[in-house]
Structure formats: C-alpha cells, structure tokens
A and B are shown apart, each in its own frame.
Chain A
Amino acid sequence: MSRVQIEITLGALLVLVTGALLVVYGLGEEERMERLEREQQARAIEVGAELFELCKDCHGIQGEGVPGLCPPLNDKFFFTERMKEVGWSGSVEDYIVATVSGGRMTSTRPERYAGQGLPAMPGWSEDYGGPLRADQIRNIASFIMNWESTAPDRREEGVLAGPPVGTDITISLPEGNAENGAALATAQGCVACHVATPTGPGWASSASTPAIAERAALRIAQADYTGTATDAGQYLLESIVLPQVYVVEGYLTPMPADFGSKLTAQDAADIIAYMLTIK
C-alpha cells in the first residue's frame, strides 16, 4: 500500500472510531444532564443555606420562626396553606423569591407575626435597595423549598397529648426517649438558640466548656446558683419551665417562659433525655 492509501484507511478508521465514541458518549448524555442538574440543585441549596444566615435572626436558625416576630418557614402550613391565605397564584418558590426580593411593608398577620417594624421585612434584592443578587435569592428559595418534604404539621402539635408539665420541678418524670426529644428540640425551636448562636448556651461541648449534661451537674453546685434544683435532671427541667430563675452569666436574652404549658411531662422527659445524650 502506498502512503496515501495507508493514510486514507487509517483516517477512515479514526473517523469511524471517533463517531462510535460520540455515539457512546451521546447515550450517556441524558443521564449526565440529569446528574448535573441534581448537582446544580444541591449546590444551590448549599449556597442558600449559607445565605440563610441573613434570615436566621428573625425566621430562626432552622426556619422555625420566632413567635410574635416572624413566621416559621419550615412547617406544613407554609407549604400548603399560606399561598391560599395570601391569594398567591404562582408556585411556592416564586412566592418566596418575590417576598424575599421585595420584603413586606406591613405584616399580613400583625397579631401573630408583627415583624420588625416598618417595613415588617426589608427587601433583600439589590433591585429594591437590598444587598442580594437575583441568583442569591433563588438559592435561598431553593434552600427553603428543601424543607417541604420534612415539614412538620404544627397545627396538630398545638394540641397537647396530655396535661402540661407545669412548673413544679420536683415531680417525677416518665422514662424519656432521646429520639423523640431530638425531634421536639427542633419542633419547639430550642435548637434556634442553643446550637450555634451566641443567644443561648450551646448544648454541645465546646472548647472550654463540657456538654450540657455535665454542665447541669456543675451549675447547681455553683455559688451564684439561685434555683432550687438538687440534681442535673431537675436543673434541666427547671431551665425549661422556669428559665428566669437562674440565668447563666453572659446570657441576657430571656428564654420563652411558657414551656411549662406547651410541653407534656413526657415531652419534657424526652427533651431532657435527648440533652443528656449530647456529648
């Protein structure tokens, strides 16, 4: 074979192999595009979670809201009923984008969530004088939408399963279930202040302090302790139902004082059991 013939043959072969490679690559395209879309969605949620730091002071660190101030964004009501309440015809995600972008001049539910004054919620889009770009607001919406599948139904939780635990810390509590306690800690909004914000003491151990279980035992022995608890369990119950009795130095923000009427004895036992497992 002459050089021309060899090159024509080899070249034709290469074109065929390249074509075959393209076909094989093309067969995987559908799947690849789906995977990339999922990854893009995942990254949008990650970025949204970071940006939600801007929202946590009002809407809670986990979107559980702050009673009297701002509504929860992570419960069933928000994802199913809220659109009807305000007469919104678009999707929930669009509603979030619109509300975050433009804010709220006045609260739509002033008796329950008054907001922070005027405006009740500031506009966050840079188009309306806020600090965020459109893509950042869409990321926040992606993050909030990620609560939809796990959103608890708070209206049912509002009805207590038994008599409230009250404020007597000497009662004997039933056996606690740490797993239920963990769920309650989120649902009741405890984690909003007790996980990572400087608002309330963190439950987990940190650089200089032991975890809450160990700390509870130490607190009652402290000279400045003003409560009446005699053991760690009682101290924790006291802190939940009578938070104003003893405020640890350095923390001035008072904790809601109505947990005695919002929790059953079983609830309180569960939360305490959960707190005792935190290392």
Chain B
Amino acid sequence: MNSVTKNTQLICYHCGQDCPDDSIHLEDKYFCCNGCKTVFEILNQNQLCNYYNFGSNPGISPSTVIDKKYDYLDERDVIEKLVDFKDDKFTSLTFYIPQMHCSSCIWLLENLYKLNSAVVQSKVNFVRKELSVRFLHEKLSLKELVKLLASIGYEPQISLDSVEQKKEQHPNRHLYYKVGIAGFCFGNIMLFSFPEYFSIDITETFLKKFFSYLNLILALPVFFYSASDYFISAFKGLRKKVVNIDVPISLGILVLFIRSAYEILFNVGAGYFDSMAGLVFFLLIGKILQEKTYDALNFERDYKAYFPLSVTIKQNEVEKSIPVSKLMIGNRILIRKNEIIPADSILINGDGIIDYSFVTGESHPVSKVSGEMIYAGGRQLGGAIELEVIKEVSQSYLTRLWNNDTFNNIGESYFTRFSNTVSKYFTIIVLLLAIASGAYWLTVDLKTAVHVFTSVLIVACPCALALSTPFTLGNAMRILGRNKFYLKNSSVIEEMAKINEIVFDKTGTITESGKADIIFNGKVLTPFEQKLVKSLVRNSTHPLSKKIYDSISGEEIFPVTNFQEITGKGISGIVYGNLLKLGSSSFAGVENNEDETLQTKIYLSINEQVVGKFIVSNSYRDGIEDVIKNLSKHYHLSLLSGDNEGEKSTLEKFFGEKSNLNFRQSPEDKLIYIKEQQSKGKKVLMLGDGLNDAGALSKSDVGIAVTDDISNFSPACDAILHGSELKKLPKFLEYAKDGVKIIYASFVISFLYNLIGLSFAVEAKLSPILAAILMPVSSISVVVFATVMTNIFGKKRGLTWK
C-alpha cells in the first residue's frame, strides 16, 4: 500500500499526470512518459521553459507520431484546400487545436518562431481554439509544421470536414457596424434635439432648420443601413404568410421615418428621429446578445468531421497516404492502432479489435478475424490491420444515415417561437386600433386623423416586446453555459420548456465511456492467484485485458512463458509453473449453458480447472439514478440502447415500470422511435453521444449531445452537455420553464407601457419628447427585469458558478 501512495505523489513536470514510477526523469524533474520528457527537452533547448511558469504542469502528453501519418499533407490539392492564403514566399493557414487549454498554451504557440525560424507569425484565438500560422514555405513544408506541432503535444485536428467546407470567417461583423452607426447617429440626433426637448425658443428659423435637416441626414444611415435586417426579415416572413415580430417593428420604424421626414420637409414639426434611432440601436444590441454562440463548439458536425482526412493504402507492396475522398472499392488499406476505419471493408490481415461504441452503442470492443466485415467508423484498438474496401465512403452503413430526410429540414422551429405567435395578434390589434382611432378623428379633421393614425403605429412599436425575448434567453443561455450546458442558440430554451418525453441513449450517455466495473464471480482468488492473473494479462494489448490489469492492485509481476493470444478466444500462458487460461467459455473449458451474449464475461481457468469469471459491466455516471427517478415524476422516459440486454434488470430499477426500454437499436430504429413519439404529439428530448444517435438527435425537438470533452467530436445537435453535469438535467429543464415564464411577465410589462403610450396617441397628445422618454424607459426597464429575473431564478435553481 505504501508504494501506491508514494507513486501518486510523483506528478509529471510536463503534463501533471501521475507518473507510474520514477524511472523517467531529468535532474529533479519527473515525467510520466518519454513523450513528455521529449517535449521538455525541446523546450529546454530553445529556452522556452517559461512555458512552465504561466500555469502549473500545463503540458499535453504528445501522442506517438507515426512517420507516414502526415504524408497526405504533401499532396498539392490537400494543401490548397487547407491554406488560407499563399504567395511566392509565405503561406498562411489556420489550424484547429482542441488541446489548448491555458495561458501557457497561448504563450508556447505564439512563440513557435523560436522553435523553427521559418515560422514568421503565429497567433492564437483561444476561444475558437485556433492557431493562425504564417510561414516561409520554401524552408518549411506544411507536413513538417504539423509534425512540429504534434511533437510538442499540440497536434492539429485536420478532418474531412475542415477541408470540404471552410468556416465562415466573420458572420457578425456587419452587425457590429450596424450597431456602431446606429449608436453614433442616435447620440448626435439626441444632441440636436435638445432645443426641442427643453422647448427652447429658437427665434432664428435658420438654426431650427439646420438642426432638423442634420437630424434627417443622420437618420438616413440608420433607416437604410442599420434597420435593413428588420425590413428584410419582415418581408421574408410576409412572403411565407407569417407575421413575425419583425413585422410590427418594421411598420413602426417605417411610419416613424416617413412621418418625421414629412414634418421636417414641410416644416410642420421636429419629427421623431431620436426615437427611431434609439429604437434601432436598442434592438440591435438585443440582437447581438441573441446571436451569441459558442465559437469553439460546432453543433453542425456530421460524419465528415469524425472521419480522418487521409488513409494509408497499400499498392504493389508500397505504402502510400491518400485522401479518404479518393478511396475506391478494392483498395487495400492499412489501419494502425487507434485509427478509424473510413469505409466498410473486409479484414484481410491482422487481428481486429474494433471499438464500435461511438457508432453502434456496443459498449465493449469486438474481436474480428480475417474475412470478417468491418463497418466504417469503428476504431481499431489492437495492432495494425490490413483491409479491403468494399464500399465507398459515402455509401457505407454509417454515412447512409445522413442521406435521410431528417438532415435536410433544419430551421423550421424558428416560426413556432412564442414571440411570433404573439406578434401576429399584436399586429392585427394595433392596425385595427390605428384605423379606428384615425377614423374617429376624421370627423374632426384630416390632419389630426393622420397624426393619430401614425402616432398609434409609432407608440405601439413593440420594442420592449422584441427585447424581452433576446435578453431573457440570452442571459439564461449564458448561465447554462457556465454550468457546462452549451446551447446552439437561445430558442432551444423555449423548446426545452415544452418537452414531455425524454429519451436516453445508454453507452456513453448514462454510462461513462471508457470506464467499466469489473467483478470477479466464483471462487475467491488468493492474493497469489491474483498476481498470476495480473502477470498474464500484462502481456496482452486487448482492452479487456487492460481493464482486468487495472482492477487488480499490487505491483509484483511474475515472468510468463508460452504466452499465446488467440483473437476472439482468449489468452493463455504459464506463470510460476501454473497454466492460466483467460477468455471465452469454450476457451477456458466451461460448458456453455448461459446466454453468452447478454453480458461480457471472461472465464478464468488455472491448471485446466475453471475457477470463475470476470464480469464486465458498465459504470454509470455519478448520480444518474437520482436524475432518472427525479425526471420520471414529470416526464415519460425511454431508453434506446444499441447494446444488448445485459443490464436490463439494473436499468429497470432506474427507470421504473412506466418507461420503455429498448435494446439492440440500430441508428435507424432510434430515428423511427423518435418519429413515432412525435406523431403521437409528444415533444421529445433526446440525450445521446455517438454517431448512432445522430439521426435521433436531429429529429428530436431538442437533441442534447453528452460528452466528456466538449472539444471532441459530437454529432449534430441542439445543445452540448458536459458529462459531469448530467445530474443537473432536471434543474436545466426547470430553469427553461422559468425562462419562458419570465418572457411572459416581460410581455405583460411591455403591454402596460404600450397601453400608456396608446392612451396618449389616440387622444392626439403624443409629442416627440414624450415618445423620446417612453421608448427608452420601457425598453430599459424590460431589459433590466429580464436580466435580473434570469439571475434570480438561476440562483434559486442552484445553477451557480464560481
């Protein structure tokens, strides 16, 4: 026991992980692996050890770099697709490096020029986890640059996706321009309206005209540029016969502009340009808030982002790296340890140990022998294997799912949003009111009638109404983000509030991926026997062997002779004079009388005598039982698992009797299940993690991807939830309901303001100064209300943060 505690005290100087022993060290600094030591040496040689001063143990343990892995980066068309800009001297490009996590990373990556003088400039965007590099391409090739990054632990993620579609670089830049210009014009127009506000008697008509015309000129860019989005959106909505919230807003702005321009040009009044500019300015600020997204996360990923960019093919005994898109039927491909199989193929050579957990939901790796079919998307865990491609990448079992219709109709939810439903009735009522009051005043005179008609439309402009939703949802989204629940956009909250059915995936969602509990069932093993087993499994690279190895404590290892590993069967060897066999029932010599497939069992025999079996079961996430019990009180729950029924009884205990538990579900089955529930009128929330859930996630009303590392691949979804925060799911759902209630309340407040304004308007008493006070006051009070209430409810639901 003593040795164990001593070991945990040894922390790798580079990456901060526990060192297995003290064998790897440099002077007084210890490292967990040779990779970390190498990185330290590189940095030390180049006087870059400052790296270790900005954060404690900031490093990343580098993965072993295989020489031929990056050969595809020498291909001309791959380079062309990756590069942002290239002239005869320099090349600039942007890498996505999800590993960067602290200020030391920024410092090191921005000092790349010290490691290689051919790098001219390197700049980090930490939020997006991107590194832009400019380098002399005559001195340094792209391949060498990527190798350099990989050697210090920052291997860029280059996938099929990043090559095929370049990300839109500056989507919201125009919004900033619009806000800037609206703000500038708003401030100046208010300044020039001061004589009007204070009823200062300007005797000189020249000055009066001067101020008015300045206001008119300043109002032009606000009307034609800053407000243009609202007109376009309203027009688009009307063409689709939908009255969205932008319709009454556009109507208000339009009437404000025409009436003010008329008053100034015909010298009858001062106009309402200050109100108009202020209105547009506040609305645009709300829009910026609403358009906040998590830049580093990508919610639209499909299989292309998961697949590698290149694959090694074997042609006439020569190994060559080619882009996956050029892979053809009949190609012989070479897959090394931890690589992903890009296309459906047949195993030709080697022992396949394929981890399908991400693709099919099977929790344990599958052993394959030559001649067997291997589906695309699996990850090889054993040594190198050789495969023959039998289907093109786009035609394989997994990628076919993306040809489903579900992936082609995104974005319809926009029109179901609550504010749009309200705005429809709102617009009709306001129009009727304007016409009615105008008609009433028509009996007095035409001028007053027009005045009243326009005043009603101006004052009823639902500025506060339009601001309440973005501020409430934007702030709620921020609070959820601090709790590691990242939403694609704020309208997901409205959808979440309507949910009445929750569907769970099993592997990786309610179980922890990569973790498993191992129980030994049978005769109790003596410490000596445990050591024998530990020594035997140490020789095997099979993932299950590793799990057994980790489950047995102790350090002592005996030498093993006659070690044999038979793929798909088991391992055997002689340890300390005892013959040990570990593997399937037939291998260990057990009469098979149980349903073998239900649970993963590994039988152990010592000297041809069966002593028992190791049972591997999934390890459930912390507190998942409480979460499920809690949720089952308010929602109908279902489970869709790609795995077998092995843990049905445990899961039944969690889910209770009312829930549906379905096993051995294919990706299509899951999609169909969601469709069925929706056709029964249910609003479905789906939690999943793998590619096999992708169809169901995008079909469901709210699809949440659960992941333990948010910068890793996650399938297309509406929200990404960090695995450790799954226990907060009931709170998140409650909070979404609170958010919608807050919006209702803000609507009531803004209606009250509208009533006050309207009462002035219908009596023909609306003056520019009254409008200039009423509009900002109503907007600001609604904004403050929404922000404060979302924070209060956040605290009440226990969604606090440091």
Partners in one complex: no
Listed in ascending order, the chain B residues whose CB lies under 8 Å from chain A are: none
